[in-house]
Amino acid sequence: MTDATHVIDLGEFGDRFRADPHPAYARLRERGPVHRVRLPAPDAYETWLVVGYEEARAALADTRLSKDASKIGTTFLDEELIGKYLLVADPPEHTRLRGLVSRAFTMRRVERLRPRIQEITDELLDAMLPHGSADLVESFSFPLPITVICELLGVPEIDRTEFRKLSTEAVAPTSLETERDALVRLTAYLGDLIEDKRCAGPGEDLLSDLIRTTAEDGDRLSPSELRGMAFILLVAGHETTVNLITNAVHALLTHPGQLAALRADMSLVDGVVEETLRHEGPVENATFRFAAEPLEIGGTHIEKGEPVMIGLTAADRDPDRFPAPDRFDIHRDARGHLAFGHGLHYCLGAPLARLEARTAIRSLLERAPGLALAGPAGEWLPGMLMRGVRSLPVRW
């Protein structure tokens, strides 16, 4: 059983933890599946951290772990400013919100996007490839998913560059002050966007659908819920996919044998996406849960009200679930990875992220046969939520 009085300060690992947290997570796993930790600055508060695969998978589906911080008398800054959304709600509220969103965000809608995703991909490559080198994030990994999600939700073209800056600061803040400023500005922006759509009348985009969607009992999203839903769909709808595409290309370019195998058989692109999700997924840790009642996770007692962070990256490198977990292997059966979560909060946008990543990787490699790194990757994003680099210089 983990000693609740012994706190492991993750900040003591220094900058190397931000660049490569996997050795630290491996050391923790060797000592047990659950640990009391203090997060690195600027957060620097204590939480339980789950690093074992089986324990993480079970915890993700455990209804005794609440996502609604108000149940323990607190709220997070994003919810306080922007409004209620799926990641901070429990059933029956979560069931209601997801039901209303699912009416508009369907597999059929995602599949209809396939030709447009390919068209956007081709346009970006047409603009990028004549230059011979580029920052992959700026020229390709970011503009593809931001264009897709903005078109899907109906966000004007002129707003996208500024929105990228604000959303990245919201999910990977450099300080508490910059995080607050980004969230305040996002709140105002999303409120204005929703009001503009109300005044303009029904459109064909997803946000317009959400504004007019009504359940059979007459229920519909309130203004704050609409704002919260727009926030999570816009931010999660592109930040994670930016990192998924970039991490996949980075992994391939640093594992030449795997890259050669993919070039010889492009049908392995699905394996590349799934192995990237397992090996270096775009979300390092799930957002906080709170013990709604006393419980045990992996033999460790958690008191009512205590925060719990579930390590998706740590769990997906558990050697008891994935042999030789540090090896990037596109032939591996990576099914069961937790990159998109598990249970009630499984990622609603997983099909879209997979489709965008498959399209991007295949098209990039087909049109840039000499693709290679042009220098070291940029710094890794701060914080313990997102896993990705700010830049990736490539040439061809």
Q: What's the pLDDT score for residue 330?
A: 98
Confidence of residue 136 (pLDDT cuts 50, 70, 90): very high
Q: What's the pLDDT score for residue 374?
A: 97
The pLDDT tens digits of the residues spanning 297-319 come to 999 999 999 999 999 999 999 99
Question: Looking at 58-72, 95-109, 289-303, which range is the least confident one?
Answer: 95-109
The pLDDT tens digits of the residues spanning 316-349 come to 999 999 999 999 999 999 999 999 999 999 988 8
Out of 1.20.58.220, 1.10.760.10, 3.30.70.20, 1.10.630.10, select the CATH number for domain 8-395.
1.10.630.10
Q: What average pLDDT does the segment 169-186 reach?
A: 86
Burial of 370: CB neighbours in 10 Å, binned 0-12, 13-18, 19+: exposed
Measure the N-to-C terminal CA separation of the chain; round to a whole number of Å.
53
Q: In this structure, what token pair is assigned to residue 179?
A: 């995080």
Q: 287, 67 in Cβ contact below 8 A?
A: yes
Q: 385, 171 in Cβ contact below 8 A?
A: yes
Question: What mean pLDDT, rounded, does the chain reach?
Answer: 89
The pLDDT tens digits of the residues spanning 243-269 come to 999 999 999 999 999 999 999 999 999
Q: What average pLDDT does the segment 214-241 reach?
A: 78
Rounded to the nearest angstrom, the gap between the alpha carbon of residue 103 and the centroid of all alpha carbons in its chain is: 22
Q: What is the spatial distance between Cα 89 and Cα 232, in angstroms, rounded to a whole number? A: 12
Q: What is the spatial distance between Cα 58 and Cα 396, in angstroms, rounded to a whole number? A: 44
Q: What's the pLDDT score for residue 197?
A: 86
Question: Looking at 27-36, 217-226, 293-302, which range is the least confident one?
Answer: 217-226
Q: What is the spatial distance between Cα 296 and Cα 303, in angstroms, rounded to a whole number? A: 9
pLDDT at 95 exceeding the cut of 70: yes
Q: What is the spatial distance between Cα 99 and Cα 105, in angstroms, rounded to a whole number? A: 10
Q: What's the pLDDT score for residue 348?
A: 85
Residue 145 is given by DSSP the state H
Confidence of residue 217 (pLDDT cuts 50, 70, 90): low
Q: What's the pLDDT score for residue 340?
A: 96
Q: Where do the domains of the chain lie?
A: 8-395
Q: 306, 290 in Cβ contact below 8 A?
A: yes
3-class secondary structure, 268: helix
Total Cβ atoms within 10 A of residue 300: 19
Q: What's the pLDDT score for residue 46?
A: 93
Alpha helices in the chain (DSSP H): 15-19, 22-31, 53-60, 77-82, 93-102, 107-112, 114-128, 136, 143-153, 160-171, 176-200, 206-212, 223-253, 256-264, 269-280, 312-315, 350-367
Q: Which of 65-69, 80-84, 220-224, 231-235 has the highest mean pLDDT?
A: 65-69
Q: In this structure, what token pair is assigned to residue 59?
A: 């915890």
pLDDT at 1 exceeding the cut of 70: no
The pLDDT tens digits of the residues spanning 352-375 come to 999 999 999 999 999 999 999 999
Q: Which of 2-6, 236-240, 305-309 has the highest mean pLDDT?
A: 305-309
Confidence of residue 37 (pLDDT cuts 50, 70, 90): very high
Q: In this structure, what token pair is assigned to residue 65?
A: 């772990």
Residues 6+ positions from 31 with CB-CB distance below 8 Å? none
Which phi and psi angles does 44 have, rounded to 5°?
55, 30
Q: What's the pLDDT score for residue 126?
A: 98
